[in-house]
Amino acid sequence: MTDVVSSPAGVIDKPARRDIGIKRRYRAERRFRAYGIAALSFGLLFLALLLWSVVSKGYTAFQQTMITVPVEFSEQIIDKDNERATDPQKLMTANYPIVARNAVAKALGVAENDTAGLRAVNQMISNGVRGQLRDMVLANPQIIGTTQTVSLLAAGDIDSAFKGQIDLSVTEQNRKISDRQVGWMNQLVEAGALGKHFNTGIFVNGNSSRPEAAGVGVALIGSFYMMLIVLVLSLPIGVAASIYLEEFAPKNRLTDLIEVNINNLAAVPSIVYGLLGLAVFINFMELPRSASLVGGLVLTLMTLPTIIIATRAALKAVPPSIRAAALGLGASKMQTIFHHVLPLAMPGILTGTIIGLAHALGETAPLLLIGMVAFVANYPTTPMDPSTALPVQIYMWANEAERAFVERTSGAIIILLLFLIVMNVGAILLRRRFERRW
Amino acid sequence: MSTPLILLVLAIFAIVCYVVGTRRALAIAGGLSFRLHSRQGYYGAFVAICAIVPAAAVLVVWLVASPLYINSTIHDGFPAEVKAQSEAQQGLSFGMVNSLARGMDVLTLEEIDAVGANPAELRSALGAKGVPLAGDPEPWMVASAGDLNAMQKISNRVMTAIVLMVALAGAGLSYVRIAPRFRARNRVEKVILSALVLASSIAIVTTIGIVMSMLTEAGHFFGRVPAWEFFFGTVWDPRFAAAGAGAASDGQFGLIPLLAGTLYIGFVAMLVAVPVGLFSAIYMSEYASPRVRSIAKPLLEVLAGIPTIVYGFFALTSVGPFLRDISAQLHGLATGEYVNFIQAQSVLTAGFVMGIMLIPYVSSLSDDIITAVPRALRDGSLGLGATKSETIKKVVMPAALPGVVGALLMTASRAIGETMIVVLAAGVAARMQLNPFEPMTTVTVKIVSQLTGDLEFTSPQTLVAFALGITLFAITLCLNIYALFIVRKYREQYE
């Protein structure tokens, strides 16, 4: 036995406080926690920044500057030789921009022989007035020769200037609108002729090279067709595949392969699906390019794995007791699944489907490859017609150089995000309302 | 009848069969359904299935086979001097015959008689009807087009007749089999089961389709450009055919610069996403109160729900210009000369924004994995006096490491395959350099830029996209399989 050092009188020394670095360790603890908070805030900060940057740039796109002036539908300009009864092309091709220009020039008091002035006035109104006035005249040829009060689309630059997006303090040469036009603009504002109106055009118009006349109407129809195709194809196929894999498939190498395969397909880059669509649907099966049918098929293949994974999870969540009860009462396996398990799994399946659809709605890359970047100004009537899609429209506008297109792009993004929010909130509500916990 | 009309007729016929079959079964059982082996609906369904499934199969086979047969017959009927022409020339002639045939459908009989004498007028006559022709038709083409139309008409009539007959026969044969002891349910369920198997095989078919289509097209490409020049070439310069002359001007298709750009941008993205995502996941799973967690987690996942085109636009219009301006300011403060050293389109811009996009992938995947680490491990460490952060660093994270690595690999494969952000924010210049402030380009950008615009499926300039695609597919596939392998292996430990 070794000697135990003990103090006299048998009193054990109070051990000196060993320094176990408690302060340092607590500091490290606080630091670690702060890293976590910082990381989380960083992520949320950029979410906020992203949304703010889109909304702040884009909310003005829902208002459009209009010039409301009395327009004289002069017979002199539209149909000088009174040929409209014999030549139907006459009213189609008449020089409507001059009509609009004269109307605005008159309101501003620009002399008819002031060529430079008239040209400057012409720059203030959009090219879109051609179609606007033409449609008015074609709808009612009686208005030729009369004077009507019309709200004309202002040109993109005037629109931007009026919304304060063009810095008017820089020198005249360096900005897109001249001092004279600014003066006129203010003159029209004072007269109450120039003002902002709600922009229905952005929802209904087709694409246009002029930002003030461009809209996402065609893209919305195209996206709608594609979502319809995706829903009609991927929901039944996805549910059928999941039922087989989850309920019937024997556990063997083949089903294991299918399982690994589906998980991998969910992670294949979306652009690869575009290549597949190009090679198989367009090159091999010779379906038309730019058609929403092809887009829908490609997006279906892309969405299927997502839906299968969600459906299998939903089927798995139905407790075995339900199956046992149905089988015990004499139902066949097929009846058990279709009459009892599937209805109970339906909320989960639909939630997964909606989320899959939302992903497909925002997908751009594969659609670029199958030719949906085409400039389409006319509404598609069937899914076989050339069309475009909302995210592709955003991509096309993002590549435009003009300032006013930034606003349009952001506006289109807001529309896209609104659709996504509605779909996702729908999915959440569905889950909250119908989800059962066993 | 047109195909949609036939389908409609079949659908209506199926409903009729169902109703009739159900009634018949009930009638045989004397109105007492318990005398039947199956519930009466199954008998109806059996009749309906027997009626339409074979008919639909015949329809599909006919629709695929008959154009092939007709086209080859028409092709054989071409005059000898046309057959002597090149493949492309023959294709053009065939296109003419096709559009002529379509046009002659539009014309009325009198109009056909009128132009029959003079084929040269056909072009203007068809033009007026909205059917444009590429050139003036030759007399033999008009004859061919007539044959084509006649054959198509006959084929359609025969097809309609056969399909409807098959449907009727199927319905009749199955109708007479209805008897109380007939096991209709088993038959119907067998058909449903095969439909389920068919549906689940679509996943396999898709994969095979991806691999096959890309291999064939990439094979065409490697027929023009040697594979080693593609995989190990260091210069990307796919000159378009118009720029030069002859086969020598095909350009150079070096994969290396694109791959370097892809990996560099992916690396920058991971540099942003991994620390932020991991620390968010740790904070949310270990520190945050349930309230904070219930708000922060869905908010962070919103980032994953935003389409990538929106990130691209954000990078293009906000982050890029911001970095460019701030670099000019910094340079100005340091040297007095305001020059931006960060380009608006750069590796940094694209990588940073992509990193933000990837945060939720890292955080939610690792969150699941960290939460799955058993409570007992934590309690043991805490009970021995370790602080919470020490527990996380020394116990929880090592236990979760394989899963986290798997999650990071999956995230990396997403970074490599990401397209829209890099298309808008990374630039198009294929260069090999190390400066993150300069633009570089990626595999996905080049796939998009080679395939948008005018396409001819014979030039290496477009075919190279498929070679790039198969490379991309192979890389991401390997990453994913490896990640899946790690995650699965890890999951087994605690279950």
The model's pLDDT over B271-323, given as tens digits with 9 standing for 90+, comes to: 999 999 999 999 999 999 999 988 998 899 889 899 999 999 999 999 999 99
To the nearest whole number, what is the mean pLDDT of chain B? 85
Q: Give the residue-averaged pLDDT of A46-61.
A: 91
Is the confidence at residue B114, as pLDDT, over 70? no
Chain A with chain B: Cβ pairs closer than 8 A? 250
Q: What percent of chain B has pLDDT over 70?
A: 88
Query: Chain B residues with CB inside 8 Å of A365's CB?
Result: 308, 419-420, 423, 444, 448
pLDDT for residue B495 is more than 60: no
State the pLDDT confidence band at B430, using cuts at 50, 70 and 90. Answer: confident
Phi-psi region of B132 (alpha: psi -120 to 50; beta: other; left: phi over 0): beta
Mean pLDDT computed over every residue of chain A: 85
Cβ <8 Å between A373 and B452: yes
- Residues B223-234, mean pLDDT to the nearest whole number: 86
User: Taking the alpha carbons of B470, B472, B473, B478 in that order, is the dihedral positive or negative?
Assistant: positive
Band of pLDDT at residue B436, cut at 50, 70 and 90: confident
Measured CA distances, B371 to A32, B287, B403, B409 (Å): 18, 12, 11, 19
pLDDT at B245: 44
Whether the pLDDT of residue B242 is over 50: the answer is no
Q: Rounded distance, CA B267 to CA B263, Å?
A: 6
- Residue B62, both tokens: 């006919």
Token digits for A398? Answer: 């993002």
- B161 with B127: CB under 8 angstroms? no
Distance from CA of B56 to the nearest CA of A (A): 18
pLDDT value, residue B136: 67
pLDDT of residue A306: 92
Q: What are phi and psi of B253, to 5 degrees?
A: -120, 75
Distance CA B3, CA B159 (A): 10
- Please, what's the b/e burial string for A152-174 (b: 16 or more CB within 10 A of its CB; e: otherwise)? bbbbbbbbbbbbeebeeeeeeee
Q: How many CB atoms lie within 10 A of CB A121?
A: 23
Type of residue numbered B441: T
Where do the domains of chain A lie?
A: 59-199, 217-434
pLDDT classification of A141: cutoffs 50, 70, 90: confident
| Amino acid symbol at A146 | T
Let me know how long chain B is: 495
- Cβ of A302 under 8 Å from any chain B Cβ? no
**Helical residues (DSSP H) of B77-138, grouped into ranges:** 80-83, 87-106, 109-116, 122-128
HSE-CB for A216 with a 13 A CA cutoff: 26
Q: Which residue is it, tokens 């919470």?
A: B388
Q: Which residues of B touch A41 (CB under 8 A)?
A: none
By CA distance, what is A298's nearest residue in B? B206
What's the average model confidence in pLDDT over A7-13? Answer: 55
Does B414 contact chain A (CB < 8 Å)?
Answer: yes
Residue A361, number of CB atoms within 10 A of its CB? 21
| Residue B180, min C-alpha distance to chain A (Å) | 18
Copy the structure tokens of residue A342.
């599937």
Does B359 have pLDDT greater than 90? yes
B113–chain A nearest CA distance, Å: 30
Interface of B with A in 343-362 (CB under 8 A): 356, 359-360
The residues, ordered by sequence, that sit 6+ positions from A114 with a Cβ below 8 Å of its Cβ are none
**pLDDT value at residue B271:** 95
Collapse the DSSP code of B277 into the 3-class scheme (helix H, G, I; strand E, B; otherwise coil) and give the result.
Answer: helix
Alpha carbon distance B437, B426 (integer Å): 10
Q: Report CA-CA distances (Å) from A132 to A70, A92, A93, A138, B402.
A: 15, 12, 13, 10, 64
Cβ of B202 within 8 Å of Cβ of A54? The answer is no
CA B277 from centre of chain: 29
- The answer, yes or no, to whether residue A224 has pLDDT greater than 50, is yes
Position A11 pLDDT exceeds 60: no
DSSP secondary structure letters along B391-437: HIIIIIHHHHHHHHHHHHHHHHHHHHH--HHHHHHT-S-------TT
Which of A424, A404, A276, A293 has the alpha carbon at shortest distance from A350? A424
Task: Answer yes or no: is pLDDT of B246 > 80.
Answer: no
Q: Would you place residue B128 in the very low, low, confident or very high pLDDT band (cuts 50, 70, 90)?
A: low
Q: What is the pLDDT of residue B95?
A: 76
Cα–Cα nearest to A150, from A213, A102, A216, A212: A102
Q: Of B189, B286, B307, which has the smallest distance from its Cβ to A416's Cβ?
A: B307
Distance CA A268, CA A351 (A): 22
Give me the residues paired with residue A150 across strands: A69
| CA–CA dist B46, B56 (Å, integer) | 15
Residue B64 forms contact with A (CB below 8 Å): no
Topology (CATH level 3) of domain B236-491:
MetI-like fold (1.10.3720)
Q: Measured between alpha carbons, how far is B418 from B263 in angstroms, rounded to an integer?
A: 12
What is the pLDDT averaged over residues A112-133?
A: 81
Q: C-alpha distances in angstroms, B365 versus A281, A355, B49, B155?
A: 35, 18, 45, 57
Of the ranges A55-59, A147-151, B212-216, B288-292, which one carries the lowest mean pLDDT score?
A147-151
Among chain B residues, CA nearest to A23: B387
Torsion-angle region of B167 (φ positive above 0: left; ψ -120 to 50: alpha; else: beta): alpha
Mean pLDDT value of segment B74-84: 77
Distance CA B219, CA B223 (A): 6
Cβ within 8 Å of residue A373, ≥6 positions away: A367, A388, A392, A395, A396, B452
The pLDDT, as a whole number, for residue B244 is 44
Q: Which among A355, A390, A372 is positioned nearest to A277, based on CA atoms?
A: A372
Strand partners, A152: A67
ipTM value, please give it. Answer: 0.86
Cα B30-B31-B35 angle, rounded to 5 deg: 70
Residue A205 · residue A215 · CB < 8 Å: yes
Q: Please indicate if any CB of chain B lies within 8 Å of the CB of A53.
A: yes
pLDDT at position B207 is 86
Q: Residue A85 CB: number of other CB atoms within 10 A?
A: 9
| pLDDT at position B10 | 93
CA-CA distance, B11 to B4, in Å (whole number)?
10
d(CA B382, CA B389): 10
Q: Which of A115-119, B6-10, B88-92, B231-235 has the highest mean pLDDT?
A: B6-10
In this prediction, residues A186-191 reach a mean pLDDT of 82
Identify the weakest region by mean pLDDT among B19-33, B57-71, B142-156.
Answer: B142-156
Token pair listed for B300: 């962070």
- pLDDT per residue as tens digits for the range B171-204: 999 999 888 888 989 999 999 999 999 998 888 8
Span A62-88, mean pLDDT? 78
Q: Which residue did the predictor score with more confidence, A156 or B394?
A: B394
- A217-434 fold: MetI-like fold (1.10.3720)
Q: How far apart are CA A201 and CA A66, in angstroms?
A: 12
Interstrand relation of A147-153 and A63-72 (parallel, antiparallel or unpaired): antiparallel
Domain ranges of chain B: 3-182, 236-491
Q: Provide the phi-psi class of A192: left if phi over 0, else alpha when psi is between -120 and 50, else beta.
A: left
Closest by CA to A362, choosing from B309, B447, B357, B414, is B309
d(CA B455, CA B450): 9
d(CA A212, CA A127): 9
Angstrom distance (rounded) from CA A268 to CA B381: 40
Starting at the earlier edge strand, list the strands of the sheet with A194-198. A147-153, A63-72, A194-198
Element (H, E) at A150: strand A147-153
Q: Which of B192, B302, B309 sits opposite A391 (nearest CB)?
A: B309
Are residues A44 and B284, on separate chains, in Cβ contact within 8 Å?
no
Q: Name the DSSP class of B336.
A: S
Phi-psi region of B385 (alpha: psi -120 to 50; beta: other; left: phi over 0): left
Nearest to A272 among B189, B283, B473 (CB): B473
Q: What is the pLDDT of residue A1?
A: 45
Q: For residues B494 and B372, is the Cβ–Cβ distance under 8 A?
A: yes
Q: What is the pLDDT of residues B381-415, one digit of tens each?
A: 999 999 999 999 999 998 888 889 988 999 999 99
